[in-house]
Amino acid sequence: MSHLIETQQFTRGSLTELFKLASSLEGKRNDSLKGKIMAALFYQPSTRTRLSFESAMLRLGGGVITMENGGESSSQSKGETLEDSIKVVSQYADVIVMRHNEVGAAARAAVVSKVPIVNAGDGNLGQHPTQALLDLYTIQRELGREDDIHIVFVGNLKYYRSARSLSYLLSKYKNIRVTFVSSPELRMDNDVKEHLKENNVHFEETEDMNAAVQNADVLYQTRIAKDFIKDDKEYEKQKGRYIITRAVADSMKKGAIIIHPLPRVDEIEPEVDDSPHAVYFRQVGYGLIVRMAILKTLLGEDKKLIRAHRRK
Ligand code: ASP
Ligand code: CP
């Protein structure tokens, strides 16, 4: 059985196959997962991830059971462990999509689950692999290529699980250049940088966003997230530091794109939304078909596409 816990589980070949499947599902509805049930267990807030997985499952003819605000609404509030909850829910559903506030929660769930677990975000220093898959799909589809890409990550790189997950995926491609733009306090963590070094991906770190974006193919903006940074003083110090204004967007190369996992707060001004570089709302649509492809893969299409997750 496959679980989707982190992006290190993919190879370049399996990404190509997954994305081919995603493209073939665009605008489609079918009954291929009829009779299957997806449980969405969300212990942290979500708009896109939970609803797009639910929509994806319904578009494939399956059914959905869902729990939001799990910290309060579930029996975790009575003291039930995550492991016990998963042992129970995995008897109700054929796949479990779970977001949790603790790093490593999805991996723990996978140990005891009878059905595939999909990590929909674990903690502030974990991963958000399905977001990274849709980010990568967006990049490749919008730029029309897989290699030779300069990607500039901006803002909150330390406490941003989806940027961490995407960085691991980028090492599968050729001639990728990465620029990490952040304050010294919010630099990308060493595990990611070590991985890039080991895989010969050229990266640099800077505080100068304006210079970096001018030769970017992809500008990946992040949220200075109060819920991820946790220390209120640090949050107050960091917020508002890197804002994409229309002038910043206009300084980008022709054909370059701006992506963001969303939600956006104030880090991209609304005036940027109709810039030719802004693709963050199209990105949401790509997320739907990538998640349809993930569900089809985990529930039967070609489980081998997702390598077994190795416990650390
Ligand atoms: N929605 C993404 C996450 O949950 C990014 C964000 O919240 O800013 O990781
Ligand atoms: N991008 C993302 O994960 O959005 P939600 O937090 O709304 O699910």
- Please state the atom number of ligand 1 nearest to the C-alpha of residue 48: 1
Whether residues 111 and 48 share a domain: the answer is yes
Mutate to test the pocket of ligand 1, among 127, 128, 134 (most ligand atoms within 8 A of CB): 128
| pLDDT tens for the 312 residues of the chain, in order | 799 999 999 999 999 999 999 999 999 999 999 999 999 999 999 999 999 999 999 999 999 999 999 988 899 889 999 999 999 999 999 999 999 999 999 999 999 999 999 999 999 999 999 999 999 999 999 999 999 999 999 999 999 999 999 999 999 999 999 999 999 999 999 999 999 999 999 999 999 999 999 999 999 999 998 899 989 999 999 999 999 999 999 999 999 999 999 999 999 999 999 999 999 999 999 999 999 999 999 998 666 778 888 766
- Identify the residues whose C-beta falls under 6 Å from ligand 2: 46-49, 131, 261-263
Whether 162 lines ligand 1, by a CB cut-off of 6 Å, is: yes
Domain that holds residue 119: 7-128+285-305
Q: From the CA of 21, how far away is ligand 2's center (Å)?
A: 23
Tokens of 233: 């003083």
For the question of residue 20 being annotated catalytic, the response is no
Which ligand neighbours the alpha carbon of 52 most closely? Answer: 2
Is 238 among the domain residues?
yes
Closest residue (by CA) to atom 8 of ligand 1? 223
Q: From the CA of 19, how far away is ligand 2's center (Å)?
A: 20
Query: The domain that contains 39 carries what CATH number?
Result: 3.40.50.1370
Is 150 among the domain residues?
yes
pLDDT of residue 302: 67
How many folded domains does the chain comprise? 2
For the question of residue 99 being annotated catalytic, the response is yes
For the question of residue 78 being annotated catalytic, the response is yes
Whether residues 78 and 154 share a domain: the answer is no
Whether residues 157 and 297 share a domain: the answer is no
Whether residues 279 and 204 share a domain: the answer is yes
- Of 3, 7, 36, 48, the catalytic one is 48
Mutate to test the pocket of ligand 2, among 41, 42, 43, 46 (most ligand atoms within 8 A of CB): 46
Tokens of 9: 């589980």
Is 310 among the domain residues?
no
